[in-house]
């Protein structure tokens, strides 16, 4: 994870994301790309420019804010690149990630109280669903980001195997223990034997060392993931995503939003 993209709007949430990016970049001897998107049709609607050219006005404002952002103490000693684009945010983030050969996108969010408004139908939700590289969503300040325990919650459908190596690589980068979690509910009941068989078939052929398997009974998949993750002091929750309609197979859009909305631990997603 040497090339990390952080979309920034100069908010406290963006600062939190950048701080985690610094922690990871220092560990990988990598660099950070800070990207600010200017969507002119939206931001110019009710603004009086007093004769200034619209794009130049907002470009100059963004440059000044970048100058201030780059003075944050934690950015010292790390290679940082900045870019301002006039583009629709989701398209710009996706295109920049591809053109820069980005390994990881890190995005900030408001956390449990405000994320639902940000996530549903938003650019953030689109990035989480559709980005071709892993996306890490940060909800609170983390001065020194460490990942010792990571919960990988899945329905262990074989389709998810195509991204599982990326999940393992992410965990190994931090030397983290992986908790393989299947949540059993009355509405989607499986016997323990069937669940274990599905999980073992899923991980067959992969090199796993530091991991456990848990079949957890709960009233809902969302609550099971959140409760179990809290019980093991998870530093992150990992999920697969489906670019068409939300968070994978069993983890559809509503479940994914609930998890990302209410989990204070970071959530990292991998596109199927």
Give residue limits of the domains in the chain. 3-138, 149-271
pTM for this entry: 0.87
3-138 and 149-271 in the same fold: yes
For residue 108, the cross-strand partners are 138
Is 55:86 a contact under the CB 8 Å cutoff?
yes
Residue 195: Cβ within 10 Å count: 20
Rounded to an integer, what distance in angstroms lies between the CA atom of residue 170 and that of residue 174?
A: 7
Share of the chain above pLDDT 70, in %: 80
- For residue 120, pLDDT over 50 is answered with no
- 19-61 pLDDT, tens digit each: 999 999 999 999 999 998 876 554 444 555 454 556 677 788 8
Rounded to an integer, what distance in angstroms lies between the CA atom of residue 192 and that of residue 156?
A: 13
Label residue 248 by pLDDT band (50, 70, 90): very low
Label residue 2 by pLDDT band (50, 70, 90): very high
Mean pLDDT of 240-266: 62
Mean pLDDT of 113-132: 58
Rounded to an integer, what distance in angstroms lies between the CA atom of residue 52 and that of residue 215?
A: 61
Label residue 258 by pLDDT band (50, 70, 90): low
Is 226:194 a contact under the CB 8 Å cutoff?
no
Alpha-helix runs per DSSP H in the chain: 12-28, 40-43, 54-69, 89-99, 115-119, 123-130, 161-173, 192-203, 221-231, 253-262
Name which residue leads in pLDDT, 111 or 14: 14
Label residue 268 by pLDDT band (50, 70, 90): very high
Nearest partner of 183 among 156, 141, 215, 159, judged by Cα: 215
**The domain 3-138 belongs to what CATH superfamily?**
HUPs (3.40.50.620)
The sign one gets for the Cα dihedral 217, 113, 270, 209 is: negative
Q: Calculate Rg over the CA atoms of the chain.
A: 20
Give the pair of three-digit tokens for residue 85.
């684009």
Residues 227-263, buried b or exposed e (16+ Cβ, 10 A)? ebbeeeebbbbbbbbbeeebbbebbebebbbbbbbbb
- For residue 203, pLDDT over 60 is answered with yes
CATH topology of domain 149-271: Rossmann fold (3.40.50)
Mean pLDDT of 92-108: 92
Nearest partner of 176 among 154, 142, 146, judged by Cα: 146
């Amino acid at each position: 994870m040497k090339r990390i993209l952080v979309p920034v709007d100069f908010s406290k949430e963006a600062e939190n994301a950048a701080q985690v990016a610094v922690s990871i970049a220092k560990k990988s001897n990598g660099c950070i790309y800070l990207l600010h998107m200017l969507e002119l049709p939206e931001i110019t609607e009710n603004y009086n420019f007093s004769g200034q050219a619209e794009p130049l006005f907002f470009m100059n404002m963004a440059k000044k804010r970048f100058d201030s952002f780059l003075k944050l103490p934690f950015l010292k000693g790390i290679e940082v690149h900045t870019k301002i684009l006039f583009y629709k945010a989701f398209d710009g983030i996706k295109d920049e990630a591809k053109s820069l050969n980005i390994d990881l996108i890190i995005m900030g969010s408001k956390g449990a109280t405000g994320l639902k408004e940000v996530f549903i139908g938003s650019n953030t939700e689109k990035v989480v669903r559709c980005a071709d590289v892993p996306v890490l969503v940060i909800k609170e300040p983390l001065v020194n980001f460490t990942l010792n325990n990571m919960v990988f919650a899945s329905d262990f459908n074989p389709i998810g195997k195509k991204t599982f190596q990326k999940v393992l690589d992410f965990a190994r980068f931090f030397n983290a223990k992986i908790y393989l979690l299947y949540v059993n509910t009355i509405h989607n009941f499986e016997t323990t034997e069937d669940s274990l068989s599905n999980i073992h078939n899923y991980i067959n052929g992969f090199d796993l060392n530091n991991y456990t398997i848990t079949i957890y009974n709960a009233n809902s998949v969302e609550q099971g993931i959140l409760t179990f993750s809290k019980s093991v002091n998870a530093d992150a929750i990992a999920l697969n995503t489906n670019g068409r309609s939300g968070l994978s197979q069993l983890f559809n859009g509503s479940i994914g939003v609930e998890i990302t909305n209410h989990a204070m631990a970071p959530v990292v997603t991998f596109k199927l």
